[in-house]
Amino acid sequence: MQAEEQDAGNKTQAKRHKRFEVLEKRDVNKDGFVKEWPEVGLIATGGPEDPEPSIKIEDGVIVEMDGKPRDDFDLLDHFIARYALNNDIAEEMMDLDAVEIARMLVDINVPRNKVLEVFSGITPAKMAAVLECMDVVEMMMAMRKMHARRTPSIQGHVTSVQDNPVQMVADAAEAGLYGFTELETTVGVLRYAPFNALALLVGGQTGRGGIITQDAVEEATELQLGLRGLTTYAETVSVYGTEDAFRQGDDTPWSKAFLASAYASRGVKMRFTSGTGAEVQMASAEGKSMLYLEIKCVMLSKGVGVQGLQNGSISCIGVPGSVPGGIRAVLAENLVTACLDLETASGNDQSFSHSPYRRTARTLMQMLPGTDLIFSGYSTVPNYDNMFAGSNFDCDDNDDYLLIQRDLKVDGGLVPVDEQDVIAVRNKAAQALQAVFEELGLPSITDEEIEAATYAHGSEDMPERDKVQDTQAADDMMERGVTGLDVVKALAKHGFEDIASNVLEMQKQRVSGDYLHTSAILSPDFKVIAAVNDLNDYEGPGTGYRLEGERWQKIADIRQALGPDDI
Amino acid sequence: MSDEGSTQQVVEEMELEEVGEAQAGDSPEEVVIALSPAFGEEQLNRQTIHKLPHAAVLRELLAGIEEEGLEARLIRIYRTADVAFMGFDGAKLSGSGIAIGIQARGTTLIHQRELLPLAPLELFPQAPGLDLSNYRQIGKNAAQYAKGDSPSPVPQENDPMARPKWQAIASVFYIREVEFVDQDKKPVELKVSFEK
């Protein structure tokens, strides 16, 4: 080798090991990873500014919490001290060792109720200290006992990059066959929001009855859709773990509480959203760890009085996902939510990794122990159509997910479906929406669109709609004051009596309000299944939710398995 | 557009000179470009998150505005690194009421004085999806809004896998930029000279 070449070689880089060159091309190395930067809060747990647990109560008032005197409390501290802690028992519970509380969480001989009592009397820093004692297997053991409703379930996303309502009504109906109990949509173009709501309302009651639906859009529009009976739950009301992050969103805990009560008072199911990583992403973490700040969000939600919380990092998953121990912290935040007796909608809802191994490992944390909603949600459409910027699993992963359930005998909320049944229900839903559009004077849905929606993989298989006409009609529909009852009438008039009856049942649910109880979902015949009548009673082997009987047979019976006669 | 761009030599270097406190403009012919506190700063390597030189990006924005026959006025915002509020501050100082806000990592928006701070005309949240021709188009669109036209929004790629690749790195980038924020300092007018 010439000296000159050698010099040039030294300047560029050392000779590469071929295995490293192969590794660098693997999916996992398309993900971005960063080192911890504790001073700014880029750390999953144990931040340098995380306080030590403490509490002082005088005359029934908390005068010191986690080392901070009342005079130094910020908005969040005040709110938590006033509304999220049981002052009567706080001193007693704070006296327990963190490791002792962690053992209670894992111990099958300590009932769920006892743990709830302890958590009602401990501070954010104490909760962080308890979780610091636990590894992920112990946290899963604890989650098995602590999630509020005994029966696990799953929420799905139904969206379209073209905001195509015909595609979405069919997708919502298909999701019903798979077993989703909640469906959430959002838009590419805000003015399409009423059509998205309509598609999920009709499709969601076609595949099966009793699916609760949501349209995650700008707050005023979302509330109005709920009040009109076009949606039946709301969850994208975000809370943050520092005052500065709240201020950047132009909000306070009190304004969020007001919004929550606006929904609940009108019979719309309501939960908050938060997640690790949000504060550090906004450069507002104050040197505190992601988990510590998230615990404050969970306590805040408890203090507001909402029945549940969607967390598990959610849209910030790329942040905890990139630091050491981040996915453990994500499970920990779900667990804190369950320990405060809140419905736990545990994330898994955003693209997290290029690697199928990392994606699966991340989801097993919630899928194995079960949570109220393991995904919030699972993309029922291909990720290219997912307007929440992609989910951790999408419809192309359905068979993998069903097989993981069958392999491990774990109920992840889905059941295998028959292809011809899916085709039939998609067709029926699209026809039903055609009738509703006709009756409500909305731009017509053609037979060609119905045919395409019946067999479509995604929006690329759909004929284009006139978006100007659609969005003008959607504005007009809102101005005319169309409600859920108008949809019922339209369906009944065109012979879709069963769907009409189901949509009417959903309107009745808003009046009776029973599905506002913690962790409520509805069975296909509109029976409320909640932490009130289906309370998690897990106390070790032989108790709690067991996957058995008819349900297990359904999950076991996949279309791909060969019988003796097939061979 | 992209062919034309690729034959040009990419400008790597520039000098930004502060020339006093930025005043409200009165020319309807001007579009303000509001730079973030660390845009062009040595410590952030004078490049965006996906390594486009700040100088090249700024030159494209300026060229886009000039192509439409309008004038660009350059200012730096110190009180915040939040692209929405930076852009909004710029729009309030702009004679036409239109401004472009751009962060060091490359996140960009087009804002208008009459709008709410968090509701800009066009937002480009995924900087890694923007190339130099996109920045020129953003400049052109901003100028067209200033002329009272309604241009088609600049098309942007929506990559569902951008989060796992970029979110954490983007957070670190932003936190580093926030270290340059001075909440009490008013916007400053800048003069730019590009170096070959």
- Check CB contact under 8 Å for B178 and A283: yes
Report pLDDT digits (tens) over B7-29: 456 888 999 999 999 999 999 99
Closest listed residue to residue A342, CA positions, set A239, A248, A254, A245: A239
Average pLDDT over residues B144-173: 91
The two beta strands, B71-76 and B188-195, are antiparallel
Q: What residues of A are in contact with residue B171 (Cβ under 8 Å)?
A: 42, 277, 280-281, 283, 319
Q: What residues of B are in contact with residue A30 (Cβ under 8 Å)?
A: 161, 164-165
Q: What is the pLDDT of residue B93?
A: 98
Q: What is the pLDDT of residue B12?
A: 87
- Check CB contact under 8 Å for A37 and B172: yes
Smallest CA–CA distance, residue B118 to chain A, in Å, is 9
- Chains A, B: CB contacts under 8 A, how many? 78
- Check CB contact under 8 Å for B164 and A32: yes
- Phi/psi of residue A85, each to 5°? -125, 140
Of A40, A248, A318, which is closest to B167 when you measure between CB atoms? A318
Separation CA A90–CA A74 (nearest Å): 20
pLDDT at A292 over 80: yes
Q: What is the pLDDT of residue B3?
A: 42
Q: What is the pLDDT of residue B64?
A: 98
Q: Search chain A and give the residue with CA nearest B159.
A: A389
pLDDT at A4 over 80: no
Q: What residues of B are in contact with residue A37 (Cβ under 8 Å)?
A: 172, 175
What's B11's DSSP letter?
A: P
Give the count of alpha carbons within 13 A of A509, CB side only. Answer: 32
Average pLDDT over residues A488-510: 98
Report pLDDT digits (tens) over A241-251: 999 999 887 78
- Rounded to whole angstroms, what are the CA distances from A221 to A173, A264, A443? 24, 16, 21
**B182, burial (CB in 10 Å: exposed 0-12, middle 13-18, buried 19+):** exposed
Q: What is the pLDDT of residue A250?
A: 79
- Check CB contact under 8 Å for B174 and A283: yes
Average pLDDT over residues A436-451: 98
Average pLDDT over residues A354-374: 98
Report pLDDT digits (tens) over A5-31: 444 445 567 999 999 999 999 999 999
Report pLDDT digits (tens) over A43-84: 999 999 999 999 999 999 999 999 999 999 999 999 999 999
Peptide bond into A377 cis (omega under 30): yes
- Check CB contact under 8 Å for B161 and A34: no
**A339, burial (CB in 10 Å: exposed 0-12, middle 13-18, buried 19+):** buried
Q: How confident is the model at residue B196 (pLDDT cuts 50, 70, 90)?
A: low
Average pLDDT over residues A423-431: 98
Mutate which: B171, B173, B183, vs A, most A CBs within 10 A: B171
A9: its two tokens:
């070689």
Average pLDDT over residues A254-270: 94
pTM: 0.94
In the block, tokens 């062919």 appear at: B3
- Rounded to whole angstroms, what are the CA distances from A4 to A7, A11, A13, A14? 5, 11, 15, 16
pLDDT at A95 over 70: yes
